Amino acid sequence: MVEYKGEINILKLLLKMDGINISTISRKCAITSGYVKKYVNMLEQEGIVKLHRFPRLTIVELNKESAKYNAIRTLWGEEES
């Protein structure tokens, strides 16, 4: 279950820019990288995002096979800012 505002901001950003790294998420959402890692790990446990880990880089993308993906896209996918 998505509980924190930071998780919501990360999900909204991932809908706009799929496949981005943790430092970019941190910059664009104005959240420290420690909290981004915490939120992303919680979202990964729920099956909402997938992580691709490389030696010095972690790419985060939405899990489009997840049943929750359609609900997230319906809630925030049409929003433009």
Burial class of 58 by CB neighbour count within 10 A (0 to 12, 13 to 18, 19+): middle
Total-model pTM? 0.84
For the chain, the maximum distance between any two Cα atoms, rounded to a whole number of angstroms, is 35
Predicted pLDDT of residue 25: 95
Q: Return the percentage of the chain with pLDDT > 90, whole number.
A: 64
Task: Please report, as a single letter, which amino acid is at residue 60.
Answer: V
* pLDDT tens profile 20-34: 999 999 999 999 999
Walk me through the domains of the chain, giving residue ranges and CATH numbers: 5-76 (1.10.10.10)
